[in-house]
Amino acid sequence: MDLIQCFAFILLSLFIASFVLQWRRRSFWRQPDQKRYPSAQENTTTVIIGAGVVGLCTAYHLAKAIDKKRHKVIVIEAASQVFAATSSTNTGILSYTGFQEELLPLAQYSYDLWEDLGKDTDFRRSCGYKENANFALKTGSGEGDGEPIPNWIHTKTDWHAIRDPPDSKMAIINPVALGQWLHKQCLNLKVEIRLNEKATSVDLDTTDGTMSLEVIDGEGNALNLQCNHLVLAAGPWSPALFKQLFPQSSAKIEAVISAGEWFVFENPESFTEKSIAGIYFNDIVGQKLEFAGRNDHTIWTTGEKSEVGEVPSVGDTPKPDPGKLAKLRAYADMFLKHPHTSGGKQKLRVLSHGRSYRPATWNSLPIIAGIPPYNLTTKERGHTKAKVFINSGHGAYGITLSMGSGKLMSQMILHKQLDLDVSRLGPSYI
């Protein structure tokens, strides 16, 4: 073999080795090897970190699919309630328009699951779910889609409402009520939900092949949970949590965080079915401005993005930007109807306000994947039987994508054929 042939052989060998490594990383969780791993139904415990919409949707679908005598599902949450952060502080838009091509199948899949749930009367009433109730306000002739602007908007004669988007399916839901519904459904399905508990470390070196997850409860006590599967669904805190639990991992779980201020007002107007609506003033004010009337006699509003600053520790309350809050309150006073008294207008009653964070990734694709055992640590040892999964980074589309993401994650955990190929929705590796 001459020098050129030898050099070509070396290059070919390196290419083949690189291809095989990438194939292992991309295929490991897409087509599970049933002979290599035992059934996920056999005396199994799955722990999900995060009781937001993604975490509870994962628990909901997993609990529906398992034999509860042999498989236990536990959700741990650092806050004192479910949906304590981003999941409850959003407009509640459900749609599959505006997604990049790689995400469109997941968006359609997830929206269809929401639509199926929306056929149930109890779900619609409980969660304030309503289709075709999203409208953009525009100036012009005053003509629109024939849909009246809801009674909680202070209108002008030349405004008209255009269904947004005009030629696609879209719905709105009350995120707070959805959290209560998912919480109840999970409890009915025997999911154990543990609040005020923070995960601090993981031991992969257990003799029985499980993981030992250390958590600190609200009183400062250290507890250990033995589990076969660990799912990180902690929203904006997933990257930092993964790095804390698996500091030697070659997987890169990074986030691009956006922030925004919000208010929830009491709705002073009488409630009707048409009170449930999403109204968007972007064209009126020249920036993002959204209002949502909900089934619990409240009106939600949010506006333009804010500087992120420092993301608070998991379980802590974010501090809003006072200037952004003042601007948002001024818009609310301008566009929302006020109760009248003999002395003039009253200000709308503020029920709550704050800041929320939207966790996305550098390529705007969520991470819905398992981390292969050989990428969790640098230690030399055989593959652990315990498995780690990530379900995070959904950005502004978290509530739309959550139901589909949760179902696909449950299929991964149970080694079932996935309804969609999500092999591209994985982390990068060092």
Kindly state the tokens that stand for 39. Answer: 């059934």
The stretch 127-140 carries a mean pLDDT of: 88
Q: Domain 133-168+256-358: which topology? A: D-Amino Acid Oxidase; Chain A, domain 2 (3.30.9)
Pick from 378, 347, 369: nearest CA to 418: 369
Pick from 306, 336, 316, 368: nearest CA to 106: 368
183, pLDDT greater than 90: yes
pLDDT at position 258 is 87
Length of the chain: 430
Give residue 355's pLDDT band: very low, low, confident or very high (50, 70, 90): very high
pLDDT at position 24 is 44
Q: Is the Cβ–Cβ distance between 366 and 336 less than 8 Å?
A: no
Tally of CB atoms within 10 A around 374:
16
pLDDT at position 340 is 61
Helices 53-65 & 175-188, crossing angle to 10 degrees?
30
98-105 CB contacts, 8 Å cutoff, 24+ apart: 98/165, 99/397, 100/364, 100/365, 102/365, 102/424, 103/364, 103/365, 103/366, 103/397, 103/401, 105/420
The stretch 74-91 carries a mean pLDDT of: 94
Q: Is the Cβ–Cβ distance between 114 and 121 less than 8 Å?
A: no
Quick: pLDDT tens for 190-241: 999 999 999 999 998 777 778 899 999 999 999 999 999 999 999 999 999 9
128-137, 177-186, 371-380: least confident range: 371-380
pLDDT at position 317 is 78
Non-local (6+) Cβ contacts of 130 within 8 A are 124, 171, 172, 173, 273, 276, 277
Average pLDDT, the chain: 85
pLDDT at position 371 is 92
Q: Is the Cβ–Cβ distance between 224 and 202 less than 8 Å?
A: no
The domains of the chain are located at 35-130+169-255+361-430, 133-168+256-358
Domain 35-130+169-255+361-430 falls under CATH 3.50.50.60 = yes
Sole residue written with tokens 């006020």: 338
How many Å apart are CA 194 and CA 254, to the nearest integer?
Answer: 26
How many Å apart are CA 347 and CA 337, to the nearest integer?
Answer: 9
The stretch 274-280 carries a mean pLDDT of: 91
Quick: pLDDT tens for 228-262: 999 999 999 999 999 999 998 998 888 788 889 99
Hey, do 35-130+169-255+361-430 and 133-168+256-358 end up sharing a CATH topology, with the first three levels equal? no
347, pLDDT greater than 90: no
Stronger pLDDT, 100 or 14, i.e. the higher one: 100
Quick: pLDDT tens for 93-124: 999 888 889 999 999 999 999 999 999 999 99
Give residue 144's pLDDT band: very low, low, confident or very high (50, 70, 90): very low
